Amino acid sequence: MLSLNWHRALSLFLLIAPHALLGVLAVILYKRRLYREFPCFFVYVLYEIAKFFPLFALYSVQGVSGKEYAYAYCVTLLISIVLRFGVIDEISRNLFRESQFLRVAARRSLQCVTGLLLGAGALLAVYAPGGNSAKWYAGIFVVNRGAAMVQSGLLLALLLFSRFLGLSWRRSAFGIALGLAVLTSLDLAMFALRAAFTSEAAANFLDLLITGTYLVCVSIWIGYLLAPELEVASPTVVAHDEVETWNRELQQFLKQ
């Protein structure tokens, strides 16, 4: 029997709500046929839903020890990390698919960014390996902290690079990237604190923040996937005379 106090109730809400919303998200992805465009993201969403059931069962059942739950949590977390890298790759492919030039130039730049971030993550793991906890799963938090740093750095680079170049995002791709970037940025902060503060009270508080963040990110994904594409001002709305005027000016400009 679960003893319900406010902390327990909030924990339960923050555990269940994002996964219920992930179910809604999976339906949206299926109904709008977005799974064809973002298969890896669709698999990630399905995986996050699927992993919730055994984890929730382990969390709720009285006989399961904290160590057993932590083991299961860490295994599922590592698979999530791998899938997130797949989603980032998928987003970048989607973004650069219409430009031959960018497919080469931008992806090369992103590979350099990945290399730098991986180097920084490895250095961080060596020189700041977390608190003095001897628990094995503290190491997993350090791995997740490093992965979150690489992932948020990559997504930020992708968003800044596209903004800098004037690349237009499709609303769905932008939403997925934004939600994942928020998730990984906050994961970075939370798991950095989780690796440094190992007391039970701190761990409980940070766990609430991590699940709360997840709820926000799933809401971002749903919001962007449901929102209609923005109609932007078309080049053809410029009056004929006006176009001719600047055509003449540009011609003169080129002859200068």
Partner 1 sequence: MEQGASTISQAMISQAMIAAWILVALAFFALGILVYIAIRSRTRQVDLEKAVQAFRSLDIEAFRNLVDSGEEAFLRNNLSPKKFRAIKRQRAWAALIYAREAGRAAAALAKIGQAAQQSSDPEIAASGITVTENAFRLRLQTIGACLHLLTEVVLPDLRSPSLPRLVDQYERAAETLFRLGRFSSRVQGSVRPKSA
* Non-local CB neighbours of 134 within 8 Å, separated by 6+ positions: none
Helices within 170-199 (DSSP H only): 171-196
Q: What separation, in Å, do the N-terminal and C-terminal C-alpha atoms of the chain show?
A: 84
Question: Considering the rule CB under 8 A, would residue 152 count as an interface residue with partner 1?
Answer: yes
For position 9 contacting partner 1 by CB under 8 A, the verdict is no
Which of 40, 110, 154, 195 touches partner 1 (CB under 8 A)? Answer: 195
Q: Which of residues 99-118 bind partner 1 (CB under 8 A)?
A: 99-102, 105
| Cβ-contact 212, 169 below 8 angstroms | no
Least spacing, CB of residue 43 vs partner 1, in Å: 23
CB of 133 to partner 1, least distance (A): 10
Query: For residue 21, which of 226, 229, 227, 228 has the smallest C-alpha distance?
Result: 226
Positions in 205-224 near partner 1 (CB under 8 A)? 224
Q: Give the span between the Cα atoms of 91 and 176, in whole angstroms.
A: 8
Shortest distance in whole angstroms from residue 13 CB to partner 1: 23
Report the residue from 26, 196, 208, 226 that binds partner 1 according to the rule CB under 8 A: 196
Phi, psi of 164 (to 5 degrees): -65, -40
**Contact in structure between 153 and 117 (CB atoms under 8 Å):** yes
Q: How many residues bind partner 1 (CB under 8 A)?
A: 67
Does position 81 bind partner 1 by CB under 8 A?
A: no
- Tokens standing for 58? 């382990």
Q: What does residue 128 show for φ and ψ, rounded to 5 degrees?
A: -135, 70
For the window 40-69, what string marks contact with partner 1 as x by the rule CB under 8 A?
------------------------------
Interacting residue ranges for partner 1, rule: CB under 8 A = 98-102, 105, 124, 127-132, 145, 149, 152-153, 156, 159-160, 163-171, 173-175, 178, 181-182, 185-186, 188-189, 192-193, 195-197, 224, 229-238, 240, 242-244, 246-247, 249-251, 253-254, 256
